Structure 1
Amino acid sequence: MPNIHNFGAGPAKLPEEVYEILRSELTNFNGSGISLLETSHRSATYLKLNTDIQNVVRNLLNVPDNYKILFIAGGGQGQFAAVPLNLISRTGTADYVVTGAWSEKAAKEAKKYGKVNLVVPETDKYTGIPDQSSWKLDPNASYVHICGNETIHGVEFDFIPDTKGVPLVADMSSNFMSKKLDVSKFGVIYGGAQKNIGTSGVALVIVREDLLNKALPICPSILDWTITAKNDSILNTPPMYAIHIMGRVLEWIVRQGGLDKMAENATKKSSMVYDVIENSNGFYYAPVAKNSRSKMNIPFRIGSPDGNDALEKEFLKGAEALNLIQLKGHRAVGGIRASTYNAVTFEDVNALVSYMKDFAKKHAK
């Protein structure tokens, strides 16, 4: 089988070591004689798995004891609704820092359940994070929502905002477990698993206990964090196999050296790509301001800041011939996008940067 270099933004590459584990236990999970796919969610086998994965999350992120760790179906977008449904009742209003397509979608969803204040000016071009001194925070807000890393636009927070005591909520779907962070500075952290810590179907939610018991009356039970916490994430049949895969990926992170190693690798891998862009004499263009550039998702254009459709199509065609796959930029922005998540190897990145250099040498004027 050819060596595939997968730069997909999600569902994204999984570690090969995890695939080997999944293959070995697919039809006989933990010696039970049956697959997890056909195991009861009330069985001792699954109950232990559920607890074990919560413990891995707590240990990796050093999650304080006064936070609940939840596994909820519906991915990150499901939590776009769950966040206001669970939190906006305190004042009826919430602050949203919109820095890309996903935080824009989250804010739009929240407007169904209360008043949304856009903290930074609206724009159709997301190329950075405005200085916090310019933010218009509402001290009466129930919470402040950010997207820690914008998968489509490649904009990432390199700081934790000061929200003046208002609970900070962060969508970290695409940079969860890529670095350490102080969980105590957040009210809620959530994210879909399929970008950096697993596959689609489940969201990981970390919520401070004092923010429970505040859901709007219309909140569906399946999205109610309080009900989920009371039922230890087994209110109904959860997406068990997706949770299991997430657990195996998190255990792999531990074996690799934990979040310090993931952060070190992320910096090195993303720098390799950005360095090619910066040293291309303008052949490649990265639209995002340097202080906001994502270490997980690197969008770029070819030929000009607005791109060159013919050159970009040729780039993608040549890349696929070399098994460099899923590099096409999101349909909303076009261009090229390389995702350098935890499971993407240095071999993968070396193959990409080598091709980028060769392509620029051949086509630069």
Structure 2
Amino acid sequence: MDKKTSLGVKIHDVHHGLVQSTGAIIETEFDLLKGLGSAIQIATTIKDHETIKDLKPFYAASGELKISKPLAKEALTHLEALGFVRLQYHTGKSEIKRIDVVVPDLQKTYSGVGDYFISENTSDLAQKTLAILEKLSAFPHKEKEVISGLDLDINSYDQIKDVCKGASLLDTYTSPADSESIIYSPVYWDDNPDKIFELLKNHNSEDFMKSIDRIKSYQGLPDGRFNEDKVLHDAIELGCVPTLSVNSTSGLKKFLFTPRKGVGKLEKNLLHKARVLISCVRYGENFAGITKIFAPDRLINALVNRGFIKGHSESLMQYEPARNLGLVKIIPSGSKYEVHFIDNDENKLVVYMALEMLEIGDTSKFEDSEEIAKKILIPGNILHPTQTRTHFLRENQYEKSHSTINRINDLLRGIE
């Protein structure tokens, strides 16, 4: 993967943490990263549509995706500069009245955003943050090696670590081998579930493997099937297992998946979509209030081969997460809602991965490779794994470093 594409992937990776975060350093040093991350999130969601004429539901739905209206506007200006959208305004340039969508494929989207970041970024902290995450996407590193390898001064490093810990992008643990401080990213649990060392301090390896086998035999293991499993509860909190949340008629439910090493950076996006699709179907299988799903694989095959799932009263909420990722459209049919598959190459790969996970508990490795706005970006209820973990950690407040406290104070006083 070239440097520009890799940068774009990292910017998307940090979005799910930064979009929930605010503060002096984030709004000054990480503002471009935050805007571009939201731009990618919006672009990948609307890419299969042509025109958005009604902006009110667009902004409402962006808010449900944790992207505020001002941030969504900023993201659209970035996408316009990239040539991914064309914006038409009312009188003046304060309010957008129409969005024409010309988003390219995923690789070109990431590459374009990466190139844009290189040309527009003025923050050394933001650039070094992406460099750190690039290292950690391969495997965890000793903190001292990251600091020396990237020529970081300790104050800058402390500020990056504080921001990224708060956004659930970075964390540290002590190596059981040599007691060195190890830095890793919970974002890359698919590549590196190395926080397992921390888990194994309190649980033996045999119990952990039994818990993982439970998930492997039922990918998308739902609430109610692991609540008494202390190993899995601790694994969620530590970021060892991918955990998605879906909200529908029976309330917010979590679904667990096995961690996976060696996932390519672009493939990880497809894997996340496959897990979202499985989570939506598992919700219907385990928590539907009216008609439960008895054969998830048959339902997904019907969705793809027939092109739609027949109308159901609960489909509007249950499949919103899949719609927000551009996998399906939800079409009103009387008092019910049909789920229609968006047929493109990326979504076919997603379905293939989902079916493999349902059938064999794993998935093979792939190489990197006119709807009005009311029918897209409808408010969704999926929580990205980074967001899910952030909710788990919210009660465990961390203490900011002296460098970060001083930097915030200087920013508030207007001192550069």
Give the structure-2-normalised TM-score: 0.28
The structure that is helix-richer by fraction is 2
Q: Which gives a bigger RCO, structure 1 or 2 (Cα 8 Å, sep 6+)?
A: 1
